[in-house]
């Protein structure tokens, strides 16, 4: 990746009082450009706001440097008003390819969406979902009875995937995590690690009795009949981290956090 230009910085905030005040301070000190004219975007908020910001710049490939005003701040750097230009110049880039979801509903509609963390299928009612799982067109589980199932990127493997007891994946690994959510049958199946070139298809059984929704990051599609998921190699986002605090290092730390 070529050296990062920091001549034009655009500041965006999640809108909380703290992030809004910080944005005003930073603009007074460093200036501000519209996002469409910027060399780099500085996002002030939490991990959820970072995901929103990355989705808005995905087609323009503008790098994003986050400063944490949320709770966990896994994708963010520490806030400090001083030395921002130097921090941006020294920042280490991490590139992430999103998942592409193509969902067909029981009404026959087709929806596409991109997900940087995960695509998850979730039961819509009190009834457990029944889902057939195919990998590259071959049925691997005829019927998973569960609360849901998800496919996560390495970047998303420490989010919902980890809470569902899925594996943590190194950020540069060419892998995807396929993880069930509260599986009932097969009782002992705990998921799979797949190549990032795999295509996963979920087919919903008994859709009227056991409706299922699909969620790509924060975009939800209701009453899905079939969902296809694969990594999009034509889309990429770039996150910037202070040296020694890269996303790869944070994912590694998660595996030794007991």
Are 38 and 75 part of one and the same domain?
Answer: yes
Residue of 32, 47, 80, 208 marked catalytic: 47
Q: Which pair of tokens denotes residue 214?
A: 């699909």
pLDDT interval class at 3 (50, 70, 90): low
Are 30 and 121 part of one and the same domain?
Answer: no
Are 106 and 222 part of one and the same domain?
Answer: yes
Are 76 and 125 part of one and the same domain?
Answer: no
Are 112 and 75 part of one and the same domain?
Answer: no
**Could you confirm whether 136 is annotated as catalytic?**
no
* 110-115, strands of its sheet edge to edge: 110-115, 99-105, 224-231, 200-205, 129-135, 138-146
Element (H, E) at 43: strand 40-45
Are 109 and 221 part of one and the same domain?
Answer: yes
Q: How many domains does the chain have?
A: 2
User: Residue 117 belongs to a domain with what CATH number?
Assistant: 2.60.200.30
Model pTM score: 0.88
User: Residue 27 belongs to a domain with what CATH number?
Assistant: 3.40.50.10330
Within 8 A by CB and 6+ apart from 97, the residues are: 153, 196, 231, 232, 233, 235, 236
CB 245 within 8 A of CB 91: no
Are 242 and 223 part of one and the same domain?
Answer: no
Mean pLDDT over residues 114-142, rounded? 97
Closest C-alpha among 237, 256, 221, 258 to residue 75: 237
- The answer as to whether 60 is a domain residue is yes
- The answer as to whether 3 is a domain residue is no
Within 8 A by CB and 6+ apart from 138, the residues are: none
**pLDDT higher than threshold 70 for residue 34:** yes
Q: What is the pLDDT of residue 57?
A: 92
- The answer as to whether 113 is a domain residue is yes
Are 202 and 116 part of one and the same domain?
Answer: yes
Q: What is the pLDDT of residue 252?
A: 77
pLDDT interval class at 148 (50, 70, 90): very high
Q: pLDDT by residue (tens digit) across 5-32?
A: 667 999 999 999 999 999 999 999 999 9
Separation of alpha carbons 87 and 81, rounded Å: 11
- The answer as to whether 110 is a domain residue is yes
pLDDT interval class at 246 (50, 70, 90): confident
Q: What is the pLDDT of residue 258?
A: 55
The span from the first CA to the last CA of the chain, in angstroms, equals: 35
- The answer as to whether 177 is a domain residue is yes
Are 220 and 133 part of one and the same domain?
Answer: yes
Are 222 and 243 part of one and the same domain?
Answer: no
- The answer as to whether 2 is a domain residue is no
- Which residue pairs, CB below 8 angstroms and at least 24 apart, start in 182-188? 182/146, 182/147, 182/148, 183/144, 183/145, 183/146, 184/128, 184/145, 184/146, 185/143, 185/144, 185/145, 186/141, 186/144
Are 55 and 111 part of one and the same domain?
Answer: no
- The answer as to whether 29 is a domain residue is yes
Q: Which pair of tokens denotes residue 44?
A: 């002030």
Element (H, E) at 44: strand 40-45
Closest C-alpha among 55, 69, 64, 57 to residue 25: 69
Are 196 and 125 part of one and the same domain?
Answer: yes
Domain that holds residue 217: 99-231
């Amino acid at each position: 990746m070529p050296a990062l230009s920091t001549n034009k910085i655009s500041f965006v905030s999640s809108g909380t009082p703290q992030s809004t005040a910080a944005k005003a301070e930073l603009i007074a000190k460093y200036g501000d450009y519209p996002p469409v004219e910027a060399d780099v975007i500085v996002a002030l908020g939490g991990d959820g706001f970072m995901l929103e910001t990355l989705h808005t710049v995905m087609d323009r490939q503008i790098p994003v440097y986050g400063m944490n005003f949320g709770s966990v701040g896994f994708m963010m750097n520490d806030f400090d008003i001083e030395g921002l230009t130097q921090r941006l110049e020294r920042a280490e880039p991490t590139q992430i390819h999103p998942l592409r979801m193509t969902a067909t509903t029981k009404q026959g509609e087709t929806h596409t969406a991109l997900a940087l963390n995960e695509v998850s299928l979730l039961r819509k009612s009190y009834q457990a979902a029944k889902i057939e799982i195919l990998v590259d067109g071959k049925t691997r589980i005829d019927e998973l009875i569960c609360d849901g199932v998800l496919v996560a990127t390495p970047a998303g493997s420490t989010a919902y995937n980890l809470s569902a007891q899925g594996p943590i994946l190194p950020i540069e690994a060419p892998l995807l995590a396929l993880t069930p959510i509260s599986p009932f049958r097969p009782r002992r199946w705990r998921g799979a690690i797949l190549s990032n070139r795999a295509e996963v298809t979920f087919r919903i059984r008994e859709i009227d009795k056991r409706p299922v929704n699909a969620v790509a990051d924060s975009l939800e599609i209701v009453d899905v009949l079939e969902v296809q998921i694969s990594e999009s190699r034509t889309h990429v986002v770039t996150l910037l981290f202070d040296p020694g605090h890269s996303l790869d290092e944070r994912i590694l730390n998660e595996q030794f956090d007991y």
